[in-house]
Amino acid sequence: MSITIKDDAGIAGMREACRIASQVLDEITPHIVPGITTLDIDRLSAESMARHGTRSATVGYQPPGYPPYPGHVCTSVNHVVCHGIPADKPLKKGDIVNVDVTVITEDGWYGDNSRMFEIGEVSIAARRLCALTFDAMWLGIEQVRPGARLGDVGHAIQKFVEGHGLSVVREFCGHGIGQRFHEDPQVLHYGKPGTGEELVAGMTFTIEPMINIGRRDIKEMPDGWTIVTRDRSLSAQWEHTVLVTPIGYEVLTLSDGSPATPDFVKGMAHAAA
């Protein structure tokens, strides 16, 4: 596999897919309150995708060695790191949940993003984890420009996260995305500055750090998908899909309901098209 560079038509396709992926999160947000089940979130997400003329990239998704993924979205609660399968258990006050939405447009372009949701009032530790993970994602995004290296992205995230006494999950990473869900390059959320793939305008990839309060170790559950922290500590994740532009980056998965961009983001080229 090699890294695909998107031309103008590809960029237009990616902008559309990613905007819709973000709008799906906007539309489900008011419903994510105590008592809702993650299966309800799954159904609401699927309905929103259909209203926008898109479909889920995750349902039936089956990489080699995996069973087909059953959900229209991933819903990862508390100590679940990623790939949580929607279930009929209600969310309760104090839970944190990541909802990860990936859509495919009629033209075959993929848009991938996730956000954290706090159910009612959550602990100070949980709120801090979600906020620091959000900032970590944006610090990684801020490294993106032609000539930068993927190691710069990983390093920015790792340094910040570990500096706050949290840990970076190593087994899962961001990824190139386009007319395939997961393509090259792998975008690690740790690394050394000046190493790794050099970024070129027209690349599109995700940045999606998974951050644990406790140790970084994970384990897979018997369902073949759900990943949890080995020490059962809380885990958070945020995800955007970004485009490398001639002068920096454009975050493609932004919409009216996206949480405010952190103050430290000076704003290179992430305005809406």
Binding of ligand MF3 by 208 (CB under 6 A):
yes
- When asked if residue 189 is in the footprint of ligand MF3 (CB under 6 A), the reply is no
- Shortest distance, position 194 Cβ to ligand MF3, whole Å: 26
- What amino acid occupies position 252? L
Cα distances from 176 to residues 72, 82, 181, 242, 247, in angstroms, run: 20, 18, 8, 10, 19
Question: Among ligand MF3, Co ion, none, what does residue 54 contact (CB within 5–8 Å per kind)?
Answer: none
Residues 158 and 143: their CA atoms lie apart, in Å, by 13
Cβ distance to ligand MF3 smaller for residue 29 or 186? 186
d(CA 203, CA 193): 19
Site string for Co ion, 205-234 (x = CB under 5 A): -x----------------------------
* Distance of alpha carbon 52 from alpha carbon 47, whole angstroms: 9
Would you give the distance in Å from CA 11 to the centre of its chain? Answer: 19
Binding mask 169-208 for Co ion (x = CB under 5 A): -------------------------------------x--
Least distance (Å) between residue 7 CB and ligand MF3:
24
Dihedral pair phi/psi, residue 82, rounded to 5°: -165, 165
**CA 34 vs CA 44, 115, 225, 257: distances in Å:** 16, 17, 25, 20
Return the C-alpha torsion angle 101, 110, 241, 243, nearest 10: -170
83 interacts with ligand MF3 by CB under 6 A:
yes
Q: Whose CA is closest to 62, among 198, 182, 242?
A: 182
Report whether 160 contacts 139 (CB < 8 A).
yes
58 forms part of the interface with ligand MF3 (CB under 6 A): yes
Distance, CA of 136 to CA of 142 (rounded, Å): 10
Does 183 contact ligand MF3 by CB under 6 A? no
Joined together, the tokens standing for residue 176 give: 């190139």
Q: How many residues bind ligand MF3, per CB under 6 A?
A: 12
Question: Is residue 258 a contact residue for ligand MF3 (CB under 6 A)?
Answer: no
**Per-residue x/- track, 13-52, ligand MF3 (CB under 6 A):** ----------------------------------------
Rule CB under 5 A: which of 108-167 touch Co ion?
A: 112
Q: CB 120: neighbour CB atoms within 10 A?
A: 12
Smaller CB separation from Co ion, 111 or 151: 111
Closest CA to 170 of 134, 215, 206: 215
> x/- binding map, residues 213-232, to ligand MF3, per CB under 6 A?
------------x-------
Interface with ligand MF3, residue 69, by CB under 6 A: yes
Length of the chain: 273
Q: Which residues 99-158 are close enough to bind ligand MF3 by CB under 6 A? A: 100, 102, 112
- The residues that touch Co ion, with contacts defined as CB under 5 A, are 100, 112, 206, 239
What is the contact surface with ligand MF3 in residues (CB under 6 A)?
Answer: 58, 61, 69, 74, 83, 100, 102, 112, 206, 208, 225, 239
